[in-house]
C-alpha cells in the first residue's frame, strides 16, 4: 500500500514537471511579472494567455494546461477565460490576423460590402486562414475608431475608412491569386477554421 502511494506520488511529480516544463523560462518570467501585480494568481489569466500566445501564435491544449497549472487554476476554468476572450486563439492562425469590425457604426458605413470584398480577395470566410498561411480573418466588435468607420486591424496596423484603395494596398499582392481563390470559394473548398476547440495539439506551433 505504501509502495503504491509512493509510486503515485512519483508519477504525479513527473506529470507536474512535464506540464510545467512546457512553458519556457522566458514565458514563466513574464507571467510571474504579471502575477506580482495581482492579488490572486487567476487574476493574471488573460495576461498569461496573451504572453504565451505572443510567443507561439496560439494557445494549444498543452499550453493551456501548463498555464493553468502555473496559475493554480483548473484547465476548465482557464478554458472558460480563453473562450470568453475572442482574441485568444485556440487553433493556429496565419502570420497576420485580420480583425474586421462588424459593429453598428462600421456596418452603417458599409462594413458588409468591405467584408465581401475581403472574402473575395483572400478566398476565405470568417474564422479561416489563407492557404499560404498569411492571413486569418476574424470579425470583432468595435475597435474604438467609430468616427473613421469602417475599420479593420491587420496584424498591428489599424486601417480606418476602409475602401477599395485600402483593400488593394493592403492585400494588393494577392491579386495574382484571385482566380484560384474565387474558384476555391465557388467549389466550396474551405481553409482550416479558427474556432475555439478542445481537441487541438501543438502541431503547427512556431
Contact residues toward ligand FES (CB under 6 A) are 101, 103-106, 142-146, 149, 151
User: If phi over 0 gives left and psi between -120 and 50 gives alpha, with beta otherwise, what is residue 172?
Assistant: alpha
User: What's 192's DSSP letter?
Assistant: P
Q: Which is nearer to ligand FES, 66 or 109 (CB)?
A: 109
* Class of residue 7 by CB neighbours under 10 A (exposed 0-12, middle 13-18, buried 19+): exposed
Instruction: Classify the C-alpha dihedral 195-198-202-203 as positive or negative.
Output: negative
Residues in the chain: 206
Q: Which is nearer to ligand FES, 38 or 104 (CB)?
A: 104
Smallest distance from ligand FES to CB 110, Å: 11
Q: Which is nearer to ligand FES, 52 or 97 (CB)?
A: 97
Smallest distance from ligand FES to CB 144, Å: 6
Q: Which is nearer to ligand FES, 80 or 144 (CB)?
A: 144
Smallest distance from ligand FES to CB 29, Å: 35
Rounded CA separation 116/105 (Å): 17
CA 54 to each of CA 30, 88, 95, 143, 183: distance values in angstroms, whole numbers, following the listed order: 11, 10, 12, 20, 34
Smallest distance from ligand FES to CB 143, Å: 4
Q: Which is nearer to ligand FES, 106 or 118 (CB)?
A: 106
Q: Quote the distance between the C-alpha of residue 41 and its chain's center.
A: 22
Q: Which is nearer to ligand FES, 52 or 137 (CB)?
A: 137
Smallest distance from ligand FES to CB 156, Å: 16
Rounded CA separation 18/36 (Å): 24
Smallest distance from ligand FES to CB 119, Å: 18
Amino acid at each position: 500500500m505504501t509502495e503504491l502511494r509512493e509510486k503515485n506520488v512519483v508519477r504525479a511529480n513527473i506529470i507536474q514537471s512535464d506540464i510545467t516544463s512546457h512553458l519556457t523560462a522566458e514565458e514563466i518570467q513574464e507571467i510571474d511579472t504579471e502575477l506580482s501585480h495581482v492579488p490572486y494568481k487567476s487574476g493574471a489569466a488573460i495576461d498569461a494567455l496573451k504572453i504565451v500566445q505572443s510567443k507561439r501564435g496560439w494557445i494549444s491544449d498543452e499550453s493551456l494546461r501548463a498555464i493553468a497549472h502555473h496559475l493554480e487554476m483548473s484547465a476548465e476554468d482557464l478554458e472558460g477565460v480563453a473562450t470568453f476572450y475572442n482574441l485568444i486563439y485556440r487553433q493556429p492562425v496565419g502570420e497576420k490576423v485580420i480583425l474586421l469590425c462588424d459593429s453598428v457604426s462600421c456596418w452603417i458605413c458599409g462594413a458588409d460590402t468591405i467584408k465581401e470584398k475581403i472574402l473575395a480577395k483572400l478566398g476565405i470566410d470568417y474564422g479561416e486562414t489563407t492557404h499560404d498561411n498569411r492571413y486569418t480573418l476574424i470579425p470583432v466588435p468595435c475597435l474604438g475608431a467609430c468616427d473613421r468607420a469602417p475599420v479593420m486591424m491587420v496584424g498591428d496596423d489599424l486601417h480606418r475608412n476602409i475602401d477599395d484603395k485600402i483593400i488593394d494596398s493592403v492585400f494588393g499582392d494577392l491579386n495574382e491569386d484571385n482566380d484560384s481563390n474565387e474558384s476555391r470559394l465557388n467549389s466550396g473548398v474551405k481553409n482550416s477554421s479558427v474556432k475555439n476547440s478542445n481537441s487541438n495539439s501543438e502541431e503547427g506551433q512556431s
